[in-house]
Amino acid sequence: MKQPRHNSTTRGFARTSALLQSRIRSASEGRGFAQSRVLTHWAEIVGAQIAQTTRPVSITYARNGLGATLTLLTTGAMAPMVEMQKEQIREKVNACYGYRAIQKVRITQTAPTGFHDGRAAFEDAPKVERKPDPKAQEDARTLASDVASDDLRLALARLGEHVLSKRKT
């Protein structure tokens, strides 16, 4: 008796996922990462503040097989700060592996784009919205009230408001 054909409900997505997983694993193992999670979840492993300024580059293993060295990429300005946090980074990465895989953390100082470009990516600081001071607005309008032109009077009032509010800070 012939068995009925099984229709897949995933429509090929499981096979595509498996294909990508093997390619990601081979690419990350080529750089020494036995677990690709160190690359893909770097911010979750070491924290957002450290992940903002560092990138894992490679993991190299010693000849005798006792411990590995994790190489991190950071900018020259952030290298001293990362240097002070090397032990915490090592502990967090080892917690990801589940054993003491990383023995040393080495820091490389350059931009992620390489030596020839040397451009580091920085995020903009959040904008602080300041509220207008009603007293400064009133004083500025009073000072500019003698000006005949409406446009000039409004511009001088805005300028005066900024100057008067700046003095208080």
Q: Is 21 within the bounds of a domain? A: no
- Contact yes or no for 94/101 (Cβ under 8 A): yes
For residues 95 and 154, membership in a common domain is answered with no
Nearest to 137 by CA among 145, 125, 126: 145
Give me the percent of the chain exceeding a pLDDT of 90: 13
pLDDT digits (tens, 9 = 90+) for 15-31: 565 665 566 555 545 44
**Whether 92 and 59 share a structural domain:** yes
Identify whether residues 96 and 34 lie together within a single domain. Answer: yes
What does the DSSP assignment read for the chain? -PPPPPPPSSTTHHHHHHHHHHHHHHHHHHTT-SSTHHHHTHHHHH-HHHHHHEEEEEEEE-TT-S-EEEEEEE-TTTHHHHHHTHHHHHHHHHHHHTS--EEEEEEEES-TT-TTT-PPP-PPPPPPPPPPPHHHHHHHHHHTTT-S-HHHHHHHHHHHHHHHHHHH-
pLDDT at 32: 46
Residue-wise pLDDT for 62-117, tens only, equals: 777 677 888 888 888 888 999 999 999 999 988 887 888 888 999 988 755 555 54
Inform me whether the pLDDT recorded for 9 exceeds 70: no
With 70 as the cut, is the pLDDT of residue 151 above it? yes
Same domain, 32 and 94: yes
Higher pLDDT, 53 or 15: 53
How many domains does the structure of the chain reveal? Answer: 2
Do residues 41 and 102 share a domain?
Answer: yes
